[in-house]
Structure 1
Amino acid sequence: MAEARYRHIAADIRARIAAGQWAPGTQIPSRRALALTYGVHHETVRLAIELLRSEGILEGRPKSRLWVTSQSAQRTLIDPDAPWPYWQGDTATGTTTANSDLANRLQVKTGTRIRYWRVERLDPDGRPAMLLTTWRRGAPREHATYRCTASVRPMSQADAEVLGLVSGQPALYIERTRLDGSGEVVETADLVLPADRWSIAI
Structure 2
Amino acid sequence: MAGYREIAADLREAIAAGEYAPGAQIPTEHALAERYGVSRETVRRALAELRAAGVLESARAAGTRVAAPPVRLALARYAAVADPARTRANLGPWETACADQGIDGSVEVVSVEEAIPAPPGVAARLALPAGASMVLRRRRHLMDGRVVQLHESWMPRDLVAGTALAGQGKVVGGVYAALAAAGMRPATASEELSARPAALAEQSDLGLAAVGWVLELWRTTRDVTGRPLEALQVVSDARRVTYVYDDLPIRGER
**Counterpart-to-counterpart distance in 2, 1:111 and 1:69:** 48
Alpha-carbon distance, 1:70 to partner: 6.2
Contact 1:150 1:174 in 2 (8 A): yes
**What is the correspondence of 1:37-116 to structure 2 with a 5 Å cutoff?**
56=52, 71-79=67-75, 81=78, 83-85=93-95, 86-95=105-114, 96-116=116-136
Structure 2 CA distance for aligned equivalents of residues 103 and 181 of structure 1: 20
Relative to structure 2, which stretch is displaced further, 108-117 or 163-172?
Answer: 163-172
- Matched position secondary structure for 2:124: helix
Q: Could you say what secondary structure the match of 2:204 adopts? A: helix
Q: 1:136 to 1:91 in 2, by over 3 A?
A: same
Residues 10-29 of structure 1 aligned to structure 2 (within 5 Å) = none
Partner residue, 1:183: 226
Larger-Rg structure: 2
User: Tell me, which stretches of 5 or more residues in structure 1 are unaligned?
Assistant: 1-17, 21-51, 60-67
Cα distance, 1:167 vs structure 2: 5.3
The whole-number CA distance in structure 2 between the counterparts of 1:165 and 1:156 is: 10
Q: Distance in 1 between matches of 2:187 and 2:224?
A: 5
Q: TM-score, normalised by structure 1?
A: 0.61
Q: 1:64-100, CA deviations, whole angstroms, 9 ceiling, x for partnerless residues?
A: xxxx896221232212636121312352111422121
Taking the TM superposition and a 5 Å limit, the aligned residue runs for 1:153-168 are 153-166=196-209, 168=211
Which residue matches 2:140? Answer: 120
User: Structure 1 residue aligned with 2:156, among 133, 137, 140?
Assistant: 137
1:148 maps to which residue? Answer: 191
Q: What letter is aligned with 1:73?
A: P
Measured on the aligned residues, the alpha-carbon RMSD in Å equals 2.9
Distance across 2 between alignment mates of 1:181 and 1:130: 29
Structure 2 CA distance for partners of 1:166 and 1:90, relative to 1, 3 Å: farther
- Deviation string 1:110-132 (CA, Å, 9 cap, x unpaired) is 11221111111111x21112111
Q: What amino acid maps onto 2:204 in structure 1?
A: E
Q: Which amino acid aligns with 2:154?
A: W
Q: CA deviation at 1:19?
A: 5.2
2:215 maps to 1:172: yes
> 8 Å contact 1:156–1:168 — kept in the other structure?
no
Alpha-carbon distance in 1 for matches of 2:142, 2:241: 14
Q: Distance in 1 between matches of 2:190 and 2:124?
A: 14
Task: Confirm or deny that 1:195 pairs with 2:245.
Answer: no
Deviation, 1:198, is 2.3
SS in 2 for 1:111: coil
Gaps of 5+ in 2: 1-26, 30-47, 59-63, 82-92, 96-104, 166-178, 246-254
Please say which of residues 166-175 and 78-87 is displaced more in the overlay: 78-87
